Amino acid sequence: MTDPQPLPALYKPALHLIYASAELPTPSKSTLAARIPPINGQDAVIIEWAQQDSQRCLGKVRLGEHILLIDGMTSPLPQEVTDQTILVSPWGAQTKAAMRQNRAHLSLVYEGGHPNPIERMVVLYGLASAFENEDLLGIVNINAWTAHPPADFLSPHRISHYRQEIPFNLWFGYVRFYTDDQSYWLVTKGHHIFDVPDLACFVKPDQDEEAVINLFINVFYYLYEEDVVAVPGDTLEMRGSGQKLRFSEITELTDVLLGPSGTLVITTDSADS
């Protein structure tokens, strides 16, 4: 399979809802406001439409301090977007095939109002849930090079839980770039929305990819929650395991491995080496 080529980087959280029908959902203002899960108690919902019909919609939603933009059209996602998101997402072939059959899409962009990236993503998912219907095939995240089916990921309970536990499999991508038949670079996508560098590791045939992803998650939590700035040349010892990590810079495949906030290559040593 040909490696996907990077699209221009986005620096605002955004989701793209994809539909099986060549018609967009057109809930009334009152219906849309009622469907949006409450964010902070009884925040006022203000909806402004420049255009809204089954073929095109353009509008703005103010949810308390949050401002979100809506842009929908009855056309499939561009092929280059599909290749960079749906095609490399971790879901099964049948799920991917269904998502690729989209005929309309609705883009939701977080325009501003709150500094916390988790709150921004929670609000985006809340607005996305208001546009869920039987034709919704999936949610595409270009920033993270990934996509996922609706399942129950848009339920109010799940969305509220995202504040307590980041859904890494939904909000971030873990993308392979092969150098031969068995070895490849594994790189995160989407960390820049949280002002954290992406992470990369060269995975050899005897390595466990799941362990590498778990390592990425642990390092992300450390950098994000502790507000640590890591640069090439730094080291980090993991608590409990005694594993020492070394950070270095990307020296190859920079066009696909280098993220908008930079990318740190991780190599590991034992603590006593």
pLDDT digits (tens, 9 = 90+) for 232-272: 999 998 776 678 999 999 999 999 999 999 999 999 875 44
Question: Residue 264 and residue 185: Cα distance in Å, rounded?
Answer: 12
Note down the domain range covering 196.
Answer: 173-269
The answer to whether residue 53 is domain-embedded is yes
Q: Same domain, yes or no, for 159 and 127? A: yes
Q: Same domain, yes or no, for 121 and 209? A: no
At residue 33, does pLDDT exceed 50?
yes
Final residue before a domain boundary, out of 169, 187, 215: 169
Q: Same domain, yes or no, for 145 and 27? A: yes
Q: pTM of the prediction?
A: 0.93
The answer to whether residue 55 is domain-embedded is yes
Question: Residue 208 and residue 169: Cα distance in Å, rounded?
Answer: 17
Which two three-digit tokens encode residue 246? 């070394």
Predicted pLDDT at 38 = 81
The answer to whether residue 221 is domain-embedded is yes
Q: In terms of DSSP bridges, do strands 136-141 and 14-19 run parallel, antiparallel, or are they unpaired?
A: antiparallel
Predicted pLDDT at 40 = 65
Q: Same domain, yes or no, for 155 and 53? A: yes
Q: In terms of DSSP bridges, do strands 136-141 and 104-112 run parallel, antiparallel, or are they unpaired?
A: unpaired
Q: What is the mean pLDDT of residues 172-199?
A: 97
Final residue before a domain boundary, out of 101, 135, 169: 169
The answer to whether residue 5 is domain-embedded is no
The answer to whether residue 39 is domain-embedded is yes
Q: Decide: 128 and 108 in contact? Cβ < 8 Å.
A: yes
The answer to whether residue 146 is domain-embedded is yes
Final residue before a domain boundary, out of 169, 200, 232: 169
Q: Same domain, yes or no, for 73 and 184? A: no
